[in-house]
Amino acid sequence: MQYQEQVHTLADFPALPDLSRFTGLSGALYAKTGNKINASVGNPLNNPHPLLADAVHKSFANSWRYGNPNGDFQTRNAAIKLFDHIGVTGLQISQVIVGNGSTNLYSAAIDYIDHLTRPSHSDAQRVFLVATPTYGLFTIHPSQHNFQVVGFPLFAEHDWKPHPSIIEDVITRIHEEGAKVVAFLNINPHNPTGAVVDQNSAKELAQICIKHDLFAIDDMVYKWLEYDNRESCPLAAIDGMRGRTITLSSLSKSFNCPGLRAGIACGPESAIMHISDKLRNSLQSVSSVTQAAIISASKIIDPSSSNDFLEECKEQYQFRAKLFRTMIDGEAAAGATPQERKEIKSILRGMLQPEMLSHVVDCGIPGVNIINRTLEAGYFYLLDFSDYQELYYRDLKINDSYDLVTALVHEAKTLALPSEFMLASHTYPMAMRVSLGLKVHDIVRLGRAIYNTLVNLTDEPT
C-alpha cells in the first residue's frame, strides 16, 4: 500500500476547495449544448413516487400559512418514522428537524459544529475530516466556517471502506502539525464510490470518533438504494455516538424528487435547537407541500406497504450499470444475464455504427477502467483514464481529469465530473465520475461520447 506517499500534508490542502474550474466548465456546457447529456449530476431517473406526488398535489390547500420552521408536528413524527427505518431508533420530537434538502440542514449543522468546537480550540486550526473521493459540494460549507478540510484516502483494494489505520495515521499527522481534528463527515452509502458502511465498519468509525472526540455528520441520502440486501448502518446506532452525531437524509435520491428539497435531520437536542434557530431566523421553513411529501414517504417506507417502486428504481439503476459496463468492459465482463445481454445488444444495435458496435461489444473501450466495479449502492461509476494521460486533444495536453472533461465537453457535448471536484486528485488524478441516473438512451450516448473523444486524442498537439 503506497498511500503514505499519496496523502498530502496539511499545508497541501487548500482552505477552500477550488471548484471554480469545474463550475466554469459546467457553465460552458450549458451554453454549448443546452445540457443534453449531463452525466455529472446524480439525477434520479424516474418520476417521483406516485403516492408522494399525489400527496403533494393535495397538500397545496395547506399552503396558506407559514409552517413551523422545525417542521410541523406531523412532519417531525414522519421524520422519526423514517429515521427509525434507517436504524436510528427511539427519537423524541425535539431530536428531529426538517429542512430544504439535506444540504440546508448540513450547512446549519456545520454552523453548530463551529459553535461547539470554537471555544475549546481557539488556538489551533480545526480540521474537518472527509473520506476522499467525496461529494465536493459538502467540502465548501466547512471551509466557509474556517475549518480546514482534510481527506483520508479510500481505496478500491479495501472495497472503498474507510480503513481505521489509514484514518489514525492521517489524524496523527494532523495533530503533529499542531492542528486538531474536530469533526468527521461520513457519507453512507457513499458518493461517489457507492460503498456501504455496514455495522462492523460503523463500529470501527465510532471508536475513532469517540477516541479523538470528533463530532460526526452521517450523510445517509443514498439510504434505500443499497443492492443485494446490503444495509448501511448509521453511526448514531452505535453505542456512544448518539450524542455526537447528526444524521441526515432526504427524499432527493430514493424517492426521486430532489426538486422538492425535502430533507430530514436528527441529532442531540442541542444540535437540533441550533439548527432550528438558524432556519427560523432566515425563514427557511420547509413548504407545506414538501412536508406533505415527507409524511407520505414515511407511509411508503412502512414495512406494511409495498415497496415496488424502490425495487423498480434499483433494478433500473442496475440495468443501466450493466449496459454501461458492456460499453466500457465489453459484453463478456459486464455481468449481464442472457436476457439482459439480448436487451442490451438490441439497444446498442439501434444506436451505434456497426463498426463501433462490434468493437465495443467485443472488447469495450480500451484503457478505461471502472474502479468501483461492484456497486453496493447508488448510481455512480468512477472511471479511470490513466492510459490517456499526456495525450492531446487538439492542442490541449491531457494532464488531469479536468482536461479530459474539457475534451469530452468540446468533442461530444457531454459533461462528467472531474476528479478534482471529488477532492480525489491526489489519489485518482485521472478519474471521472459518471451518473447512471440517466435515460437508457443517454447512457449509450454517454459511452459513445467517451469513445468518440478518446479516439480523437493524439500523441502530438494538432
Ligand X SMILES: Cc1ncc(COP(=O)(O)O)c(C=O)c1O
Nearest Cα neighbor of 304 from 29, 81, 2, 151 is: 81
Query: What gap in Å lies between CA 89 and CA 140, rounded to an integer?
Result: 31
Residue nearest to ligand X (CB): 101
Query: What gap in Å lies between CA 237 and CA 105, rounded to an integer?
Result: 20
Q: Which of residues 340-379 bind ligand X (CB under 6 A)?
A: none
Nearest Cα neighbor of 266 from 288, 294, 287 is: 294
263 binds ligand X (CB under 6 A): yes
Nearest Cα neighbor of 102 from 248, 201, 206 is: 248
- Choose one: 101-109, 266-274, 283-291, 319-327; the region binding ligand X (CB under 6 A): 101-109
Among residues 112 and 138, whose Cβ is nearest to ligand X? 138
101 binds ligand X (CB under 6 A): yes
Element (H, E) at 144: helix 140-144
- Choose one: 60-68, 96-104, 113-121, 204-212; the region binding ligand X (CB under 6 A): 96-104
Radius of gyration of the chain (CA): 22
Give CA 92 to chain center in angstroms: 28
Q: Which of residues 187-216 bind ligand X (CB under 6 A)?
A: 187, 191
From residue 129 to residue 158, what is the string marking binding to ligand X with x (rule CB under 6 A)? ------x-----------------------
Length in residues, the chain:
462
Among residues 162 and 263, whose Cβ is nearest to ligand X? 263
Among residues 153 and 189, whose Cβ is nearest to ligand X? 189
Among residues 100 and 453, whose Cβ is nearest to ligand X? 100
317 binds ligand X (CB under 6 A): no
42 binds ligand X (CB under 6 A): yes
Among residues 446 and 454, whose Cβ is nearest to ligand X? 446
DSSP-assigned letter for residue 458: B
Nearest Cα neighbor of 97 from 243, 241, 219, 263 is: 263
252 binds ligand X (CB under 6 A): yes
Q: Give counts: helices (H), strands (E), the chain.
A: 15, 15
Candidate list 149, 182, 221, 356; residue touching ligand X; CB under 6 A: 221
71 binds ligand X (CB under 6 A): no
Nearest Cα neighbor of 153 from 17, 6, 13 is: 6
Number of amino acids touching ligand X (CB under 6 A): 13
102 binds ligand X (CB under 6 A): yes
Among residues 218 and 400, whose Cβ is nearest to ligand X? 218
The per-residue DSSP string of 283-308 comes to T-PPPHHHHHHHHHHHHHTSTTS--H
Candidate list 107, 250, 296, 369; residue touching ligand X; CB under 6 A: 250
286 binds ligand X (CB under 6 A): no
Q: Which CA distances in Å does 330 have to 216, 341, 363?
A: 41, 11, 4
Among residues 250 and 256, whose Cβ is nearest to ligand X? 250
Among residues 131 and 370, whose Cβ is nearest to ligand X? 131
48 binds ligand X (CB under 6 A): no
Among residues 98 and 356, whose Cβ is nearest to ligand X? 98
- Choose one: 110-118, 238-246, 250-258, 293-301; the region binding ligand X (CB under 6 A): 250-258
The per-residue DSSP string of 238-261 comes to STT-GGGEEEEEESSSTTS-GGG-
Q: Are 370 and 382 in contact (CB under 8 A)?
A: yes
267 binds ligand X (CB under 6 A): no
Nearest Cα neighbor of 142 from 120, 179, 100, 112 is: 112
219 binds ligand X (CB under 6 A): yes
Among residues 70 and 102, whose Cβ is nearest to ligand X? 102
Give contact residues for ligand X (rule: CB under 6 A).
42, 101-103, 135, 187, 191, 219, 221, 250, 252, 258, 263
